[in-house]
Amino acid sequence: MPLGQPSALINYRLEPTNMDDDGQGSVRVIVFGPLIDVLGSRSHKVPIGNNTSIEDILVYLEIGDWIAKGITVALNNERCPMDIHPSNGDEIAVLPPVSGG
């Protein structure tokens, strides 16, 4: 693939696909590190609508304040920005900021 071209694997999209007839769906959110303790478990099923972004999902899970702390997200195993709108059945991994010394 030529340099400067986006990877064919990453699905940057502003409009979701594969939603049910009324524009609803759900995603699986997996968290790591200290976020497991914050949320009480590692995996969460979250309902979404057509206009739901990954950032909206983090706010729904009450971890939106972690965005400023430097978390990153991956959609279906590919890092992506938080303004992407996931589709029904997608998996979102939330990776805490790296720390240590």
Domain ranges of the chain: 24-95
Give the single-character DSSP code of 46. Answer: E
* Per-residue tens of pLDDT for the chain, all 101 residues: 344 444 444 444 555 566 766 778 999 999 999 999 999 999 999 999 988 999 999 999 999 999 999 999 999 999 999 999 999 999 999 999 876 55
Q: Please give the pLDDT value at position 9.
A: 40
Q: Please give the pLDDT value at position 97.
A: 86
SS3 at position 52? coil
Q: Please give the pLDDT value at position 18.
A: 67
- Collect all residues with Cβ–Cβ distance below 8 Å to 10 and sequence separation of at least 6: 75, 78, 79, 80
Confirm if 76 and 7 have CB atoms less than 8 A apart.
no
Confirm if 97 and 34 have CB atoms less than 8 A apart.
no
CATH superfamily of 24-95: Beta-grasp domain (3.10.20.30)
Q: Please give the pLDDT value at position 56.
A: 96
